[in-house]
């Protein structure tokens, strides 16, 4: 089946993945309101159509972290992607790199930094969580350095845990071993079992030399989740800034005041993110706070955004509201679960085509004109009538 859009990918992923993993991707905190708002709030903006602009060739490239990227979106960190497809992180990274865009490996990735680096030579970012055991964070940073990552992306919105009803029901990350119930759920998707079993035992790759966190993925996941440090504060971020000599991205910013603190401590970029609505339900959607954050720090660092980005039109709106680049989350996770590298490639192509078609219909030659010309190209959706 061809993946023409994220909806195709989601449908197929639901059929192919065990429920525990589909729900892990698809679910969010509490009533999942913020996750829905992330997508729906893009509808508050419309794109102005202009005709006869005569741009036979259009350019979707944008620049962030000092480099021009052929497309304005990249693949953000998604934990446990190796559960959605065998060597899932490698498959997704290869699809990203074939399109010339960065891939960010999650701290909770199944593939290790070293194996990912061996498998593909495109731009890799490494996403770090601050752990109670600071020596573990230090070890991850040293390995990220050795792997030559383009940026360290520190996620700061998880020091307080997210409560996701679906994960609680399914026992994901609370069960530290395969219970009969989880095993039955996995066996309901025999093709998934065969595909994943062929890759050998599942582990969090970057913990392979840390036996105290266990040897199997469920045990490691539950122990590592317990290691996220609830006392993480701005002093920790300052220390990381001093320690990390390369590009530093801080992910999980929703308030202009916090964005300013990131700029003050010398971050190179922030990701306006609410973790896809997976942490604090009822927090604002990312697109709704983007303009005020861009107004506060847009001249001082690169403002990136994620959350609810499913279509090329969402990317175009985010750029017109001042984002320098966009990270995909669920959209590519569904595609990976649906059809591995091929699925991610098709999804990237679909979104790239949509961006090109949007800017073409808007009478623009270049995606990087969107923000400068925002007053011409964007309009607010009129409030619904009585």
Active centre residues (catalytic): 275
Contact pick of 251, 311, 317, 324 for ligand FMN (by CB under 6 A) = 251
Task: Report in angstroms how near the CB of residue 191 gets to ligand FMN at its nearest.
Answer: 21
- Of positions 275, 311, 314, 317, contacts ligand FMN by CB under 6 A: 275
The answer to whether residue 214 forms part of the interface with ligand FMN (CB under 6 A) is no
Q: How far apart are CA 224 and CA 230, in angstroms?
A: 13
Check residue 170 for interaction with ligand FMN (CB under 6 A).
no
The answer to whether residues 147 and 128 touch, using CB atoms and an 8 Å cutoff, is no
Query: In the set 18, 79, 123, 337, which binds ligand FMN (CB under 6 A)?
Result: 79
Q: What 3-state class would DSSP assign to 10?
A: helix
User: How many whole angstroms separate alpha carbon 280 and alpha carbon 51?
Assistant: 42
Interface residue with ligand FMN among 77, 82, 162, 312 (CB under 6 A) is 77
What is the spatial distance between Cα 62 and Cα 70, in angstroms, rounded to a whole number? 7
Judged by CB under 6 A, the residue of 205, 298, 325, 329 near ligand FMN is: 329
Distance between CA atoms of 336 and 301, rounded to whole angstroms? 31
What number of chain residues touch ligand FMN (CB under 6 A)?
A: 25
Q: Interface with ligand FMN includes 76 (CB under 6 A)?
A: yes
CB of 168 to ligand FMN, least distance (A): 15
| Least distance from ligand FMN to the Cβ atom of residue 78, Å | 4
Q: If 0-12 CB within 10 Å is exposed, 13-18 middle and 19+ buried, where does residue 323 land?
A: buried
Does residue 82 touch ligand FMN according to CB under 6 A? no
Please state, in angstroms and rounded to a whole number, the distance separating the CA atoms of residues 113 and 147: 7
Do the beta carbons of residue 124 and residue 96 sit within 8 Å? no
| Dihedral class, residue 261 (left if φ above 0, else alpha if ψ from -120 to 50, else beta) | alpha
Q: Is 127 helix (H, G, I), strand (E, B) or coil?
A: strand
User: Is 56 exposed, middle or buried (CB count within 10 Å of its CB: 0-12, 13-18, 19+)?
Assistant: exposed
Q: How far is the CB of 51 from ligand FMN (least distance, A)?
A: 32
Instruction: Give the residue with the Cβ less far from ligand FMN, 72 or 329.
Output: 329
Candidates 44-52, 73-81, 91-99, 219-227; binding stretch for ligand FMN (CB under 6 A): 73-81
Q: Figure out which of the listed residues 18, 82, 102, 307 binds ligand FMN, where binding follows CB under 6 A.
A: 307
Which residue's CB is nearer to ligand FMN, number 236 or number 369? 236
Choose one: 74-82, 205-213, 346-354, 376-384; the region binding ligand FMN (CB under 6 A).
74-82
Helix 6-16 vs helix 19-26: angle between axes, to the nearest 10 degrees? 150
Q: Of 6, 22, 24, 73, which one interacts with ligand FMN (CB under 6 A)?
A: 24
- Decide: helix, strand or coil at residue 327: strand
Instruction: Give the Å distances, CA to CA, from 70 to 9, 82, 105, 231, 275.
Output: 23, 27, 20, 39, 25
Interaction of residue 106 with ligand FMN, rule CB under 6 A: yes
Query: If you ran DSSP here, which 8-state letter would residue 77 be given?
Result: -
Q: Please report, to the nearest 10 degrees, the dihedral formed by the alpha carbons of residues 204, 209, 215, 217 taken in order.
A: -10
The binding track of 110-129 with respect to ligand FMN, each residue x by CB under 6 A or -, is -----------------x--
Contacting positions for ligand FMN (CB under 6 A): 24-25, 38, 76-79, 106-108, 127, 155, 251, 273, 275-276, 306-309, 328-331, 333
């Amino acid at each position: 089946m061809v993946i023409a859009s994220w909806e195709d990918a989601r449908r197929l992923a639901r059929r192919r993945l065990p429920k525990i993993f589909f729900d892990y991707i698809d679910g969010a905190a509490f009533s999942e309101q913020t996750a829905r708002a992330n997508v729906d709030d893009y509808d508050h903006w419309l794109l102005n159509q202009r005709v006869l602009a005569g741009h036979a060739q259009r350019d979707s490239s944008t620049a962030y972290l000092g480099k021009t990227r052929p497309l304005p979106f990249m693949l953000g960190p998604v934990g446990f992607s190796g559960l959605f497809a065998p060597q899932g992180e490698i498959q997704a990274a290869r699809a990203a790199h074939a399109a010339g865009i960065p891939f960010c490996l999650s701290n909770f990735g199944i593939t290790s930094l070293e194996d990912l680096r061996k498998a593909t030579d495109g731009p890799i970012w490494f996403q770090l969580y601050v752990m109670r055991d600071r020596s573990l964070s230090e070890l991850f940073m040293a390995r990220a350095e050795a792997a030559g990552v383009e940026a360290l992306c520190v996620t700061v919105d998880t020091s307080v845990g997210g409560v996701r009803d679906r994960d609680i029901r399914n026992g994901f990350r609370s069960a530290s071993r395969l219970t009969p119930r989880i095993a039955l759920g996995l066996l309901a998707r025999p093709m998934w079992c065969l595909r994943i079993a062929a890759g050998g035992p599942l582990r969090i790759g970057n913990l392979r030399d840390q036996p105290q966190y266990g040897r199997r993925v469920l045990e490691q996941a539950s122990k590592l989740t317990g290691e996220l440090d609830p006392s993480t504060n701005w002093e920790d971020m300052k220390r990381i800034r001093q320690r990390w000599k390369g590009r530093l991205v801080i992910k999980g910013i929703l308030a202009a005041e916090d964005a300013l603190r990131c700029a003050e401590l010398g971050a190179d970029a922030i990701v306006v993110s609410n973790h896809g609505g997976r942490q604090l339900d009822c927090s604002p959607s990312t697109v709704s706070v983007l303009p005020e954050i861009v107004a506060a720090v847009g001249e001082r660092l690169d403002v990136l955004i994620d959350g609810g980005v499913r279509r090329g039109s969402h990317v175009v709106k985010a750029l017109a509201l001042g984002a320098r680049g966009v990270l995909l989350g669920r959209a590519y996770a569904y595609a990976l679960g649906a059809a591995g590298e091929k699925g991610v490639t098709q999804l990237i192509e679909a979104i790239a085509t949509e961006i090109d078609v949007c800017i073409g219909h808007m009478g623009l030659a270049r995606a990087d004109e969107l923000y400068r010309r925002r007053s011409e190209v964007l309009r607010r959706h009129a409030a619904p009538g009585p």
